[in-house]
Amino acid sequence: MMNNFFYLSIILSIMLSNFSYTQILKPLDKEGEDSILTEETNYEMELVFEDENIIWAIEFFEDNSILASVKSGSIFHYKDGIKTQIKGVPEIYLRGQGGLMDIAFHPNFKENKLVYFSYASEDKVEKGGNTTIARAKLIEDSLIDLEVLYKGSPNSRKGQHFGGRLEFDDNNYLYFSIGDRGNRDVNPQNLNLDGGKIYRIYDDGTIPEDNPFFNNPDTKKAIYSYGHRNPQGMFKHPITGKIWTNEHGPRGGDEINIIEKGKNYGWPKITYGVNYSLTTITKNKSLPGMEQPLYYWLPSIAPSSFEYISSNIYPKWKGSLLAGALVFQYIERIGLKDNKVISRSKIAEDLGRPRDVKQGPDGYIYVSIENKGIYKIIPKE
**What residues are annotated to the active site?**
161
Cα 199–Cα 204–Cα 206 angle in degrees, nearest 5:
55
Please choose, from the candidates 369, 189, 379, 206, the residue with its C-alpha nearest in 3D space to the C-alpha of residue 290: 189
Grouping H, G, I as helix, E, B as strand and the rest as coil, residue 98 is strand
- Residue 114's CB is within 10 A of a number of other CB atoms, namely 19
- Residue 284's CB is within 10 A of a number of other CB atoms, namely 12
- Give the strand pairing for 303-308 and 129-139: unpaired
Burial 299-332, CB ≥16 within 10 A → b, else e: bbbbbbbbbbbebeebeebeebbbbbbbebbbbb
Element of type H or E holding 297 = strand 295-297
Cα–Cα dist 96/156, whole Å = 12
